[in-house]
A and B are shown apart, each in its own frame.
Chain A
Amino acid sequence: AQKITQTQPGMFVQEKEAVTLDCTYDTSDPSYGLFWYKQPSSGEMIFLIYQGSYDQQNATEGRYSLNFQKARKSANLVISASQLGDSAMYFCAMRVQTSYDKVIFGPGTSLSVIP
Chain B
Amino acid sequence: DTAVSQTPKYLVTQMGNDKSIKCEQNLGHDTMYWYKQDSKKFLKIMFSYNNKELIINETVPNRFSPKSPDKAHLNLHINSLELGDSAVYFCASSHRTVQETQYFGPGTRLLVL
By a beta-carbon cutoff of 8 Å, the part of chain A in contact with chain B is 31-33, 35, 37, 39, 43-45, 47, 50, 52, 89, 91, 95-97, 100-105, 107-108
Contact = CB atoms under 8 A, between A and B. Distances in A.
B50 interface: yes
B98 A100 contact: yes
A111 to B, nearest CB: 13
Chain A interface mostly helix, strand, loop or mixed? strand
Chain B interface mostly helix, strand, loop or mixed? strand
B42 A107 contact: yes
Contacts of A37: 104
Contacts of A45: 90, 92, 104, 107
Interface residues of B, number: 27
A39 B97 CA distance: 24
15 contacts: A43-B88, A43-B106, A44-B104, A45-B90, A47-B103, A91-B43, A95-B98, A100-B98, A101-B48, A101-B56, A101-B96, A102-B56, A103-B45, A105-B42, A107-B40
A56 to B, nearest CB: 15
A33 B101 CA distance: 9
Contacts of A96: 98
Which of B45, B88, B97, B99 is the most central at the interface, judged by chain A CB atoms within 10 Å of its CB? B99
A101 B99 CA distance: 11
